[in-house]
Structure 1
Amino acid sequence: MTRTITVGIDGSPESHAAAEWAAREAELRDLPVRLLHVWEPAPAVLAQEPILGSKTHQNWVEHIPRKVAEGLRLRHPGVLVTSDQRSGPSADTLVSDADAAELLVLGSRAVSGLGGFLVGSVGQSVIARSETPVVLVRAGAQAADEHVMDPVGIPSAVTAFRPVVVGLDADSADDGVLAFAFEEAQRRGTAVHVVSAWRPPPSSTYPLAADAVLGQGVARRKAADLTRLLLPWRQKYPDVEVIEASRPGSPARHLVDVSHGASLLVVGRRVRHNPFGVHVGAVAHAALHHVGAPVAVVAHP
């Protein structure tokens, strides 16, 4: 069966942005796009109402994927676009359908006045449970946002892509996360910016000069570890420029800062089977709520 880029749509501006991003990604990957609209049947009390009944509700929701598909076909004529519907709990259905997809793409919206982004309960549940990579796209995202400025200082969809940024724990790096980032950079003809943050050693009772020497030694060792870790990837992807950043401090903070200039941010999520709730990890959580670029969350053991 042909794998697809599946997009969860609901008619909102953020899901429209997700569909557009998916179509652009499909052009890079030469894959079809599948629009998936999940709806929950109207409650029994509404099913008796002539205006709000289940038949009217179903007719309305069928209109959503059809209109989005028509728009994508017009703007991306080289991409095969199909649409589908499912009935049932949204998160469960999206996670189940993602098993047959290459990527699952969802949308999120800005939180007014708070300088962040809202990842709804469905999106958080899907990201925390899906073992297929999930990409979150912001409402209002444009193709030009992923590209560098043109000579007059305006983003343009015909200029080079901005780098792909990937967050990495050099002490427990996962090949799947790195492979995803390098493949995305290669498709875009851009660089991979690898950000690896580490906690500095606690202050000791030694004099400040000794602490400074200790810190410099740790920094050099961490930087060397990162370079050594990335050497096989440089050899495997010789056409991809690699930018290394090994920094002391908060991994989440450094990643958010660097990602302001990214076309895509890639973060890992460790697979956990936790019966007490859904969790994506502190770094992925910060990225999802504070990074404006599309964020790809890649599950790994």
Structure 2
Amino acid sequence: MSNRITVGLDGSVAGSAAADWAADEAVLRGAALELVHAEDWAQYGPFTAPLPEPRRQWAEELLSLTRDRLLREHGTLDITTHGTRGVAASKALAASAADADLLVLGSRGLGTVSGFIVGSTSSATIPETDTPVVLVRSVDGGERPLGDADDAGPVVLGLDLHSNCDRLLAFACEEADRRSCPLVVVHGWSLPPVFSYAPSLDPGIEKEMADGLQATLRELLSPWEQKYPRLAVDARTVLGQPAIQILDAASGAALVVVGRRIRRPALGARIGPITHAVMHHATSPVAVVAHD
């Protein structure tokens, strides 16, 4: 990795909030910050052609003005700018972040009930890159992000015990450790269909399964707690739909971490339903971490 955070800018309030969050995160990490504006020529007409000069100037000014603003707030931050043209924005952003530690993008809020719009560029970029992607929220026109990088809330990790969890645990533990905040690990589960009527026949079955899952989770977390001895870890195995349990735990979180399994299918990669739900409804910044 290059000890660099890349953030995508599009001129929106959400993009500005993403830049603010990324700058705070870069300060926490002691990392450089790269501002990227990816211009997709195809959206301006049916043919690939150079952008009109006013549009090109606007893109250059967006990068320059954002850099100047962030430097006024973080004078020692190493900030570079980069503009791309002529390819799909999602591919350009993924290419820019290929050796970055983090790619940060904005998402626009619709309100507490409706959730958030994860734009087409963000949705298309996430499956294109194996770099962790953070979606930063902006609600009601506010330019400051919901959940600054130095917020005091916990880091919440949604975990599937049946997946390879190492990359998610490494990311979440590092984020919680550098913030000196607790790590809440949530595994939502349901009784298998074959046990649908078992609790009414034998109430101990549900508790036995819950205790087994809790023991598995504690065993999984044990080496990470040894690696990060100062980290306070709250391990939860909760009966119910995983996305709902993660969202319940994520209220007031500094960061929510979920996984995306790396797939290379013929019809293209996709984002799983639990991660998709958290992306659209968590109010805190959401980190999507690709894993095997």
What TM-score, normalized to structure 1? 0.88
Instruction: Please state whether the residue corresponding to 1:101 is helix, strand or coil.
Output: coil
Instruction: Please state whether the residue corresponding to 2:11 is helix, strand or coil.
Output: coil
Taking the TM superposition and a 5 Å limit, the aligned residue runs for 1:53-132 are: 54-87=52-85, 88-111=87-110, 114-132=113-131
Change (3 A) 1:284 1:113: closer
1:208 aligns with 2:206: no
The CA RMSD over aligned residues, in Å, is 2.4
8 A contact 1:193–1:244 mirrored in 2: yes
Larger Rg: 1
What is the CA–CA distance in structure 2 between the aligned matches of 1:278 and 1:24, rounded to whole Å?
31
Instruction: Please state whether the residue corresponding to 1:286 is helix, strand or coil.
Output: helix
Aligned to 1:300: 291
8 A contact 1:7–1:35 mirrored in 2: yes
8 A contact 1:46–1:54 mirrored in 2: no
Aligned to 1:152: none
Which of 151, 166, 178 lines up with 1:175 in the alignment? 166
Count residues with an aligned counterpart. 285
For residues 246-288 of structure 1, the C-alpha deviation after alignment (integer angstroms, 9 at most, x for no partner) is 1112111100111112100011100011232441101110111
Instruction: Please state whether the residue corresponding to 2:161 is helix, strand or coil.
Output: coil
Change (3 A) 1:31 1:294: same
Deviation at 1:46, TM superposition (A): 12
For residues 180-223 of structure 1, the C-alpha deviation after alignment (integer angstroms, 9 at most, x for no partner) is 0000001000111000111213345568241x111111111111
- Structure 1 portions without partners, runs of 5+: 148-156
Aligned to 1:150: none
What is the CA–CA distance in structure 1 between the aligned matches of 2:148 and 2:184, rounded to whole Å?
14
What is the CA–CA distance in structure 2 between the aligned matches of 1:207 and 1:133, rounded to whole Å?
40
Deviation at 1:145, TM superposition (A): 3.9
Taking the TM superposition and a 5 Å limit, the aligned residue runs for 1:184-223 are: 184-202=175-193, 203=195, 208-210=200-202, 212-223=203-214
8 A contact 2:67–2:81 mirrored in 1: yes
For residues 121-160 of structure 1, the C-alpha deviation after alignment (integer angstroms, 9 at most, x for no partner) is 110111122100000001237478459xxxxxxxxx7xx7
What is the CA–CA distance in structure 1 between the aligned matches of 2:47 and 2:260, rounded to whole Å?
41
Change (3 A) 1:94 1:117: same
What TM-score, normalized to structure 2? 0.90
Which of 209, 214, 219 lines up with 1:228 in the alignment? 219
What is the CA–CA distance in structure 1 between the aligned matches of 2:159 and 2:198, rounded to whole Å?
31
Change (3 A) 1:56 1:144: closer
Taking the TM superposition and a 5 Å limit, the aligned residue runs for 1:199-278 are: 199-202=190-193, 203=195, 208-210=200-202, 212-278=203-269
> In structure 2, what residue type is equivalent to 1:217?
E
Deviation at 1:113, TM superposition (A): 7.7
> In structure 1, what residue type is equivalent to 2:190?
R
Change (3 A) 1:204 1:183: closer
Instruction: Please state whether the residue corresponding to 2:102 is helix, strand or coil.
Output: strand
Aligned to 2:30: 30
8 A contact 1:146–1:162 mirrored in 2: no
Q: Percent identity?
A: 39
8 A contact 2:146–2:284 mirrored in 1: no
What is the CA–CA distance in structure 2 between the aligned matches of 1:143 and 1:111, rounded to whole Å?
14
Instruction: Please state whether the residue corresponding to 1:216 is helix, strand or coil.
Output: helix
Instruction: Please state whether the residue corresponding to 1:265 is helix, strand or coil.
Output: strand
What is the CA–CA distance in structure 1 between the aligned matches of 2:274 and 2:143, rounded to whole Å?
22
8 A contact 1:181–1:266 mirrored in 2: yes
What is the CA–CA distance in structure 2 between the aligned matches of 1:205 and 1:39, rounded to whole Å?
56
8 A contact 2:132–2:290 mirrored in 1: yes
Change (3 A) 1:2 1:213: closer
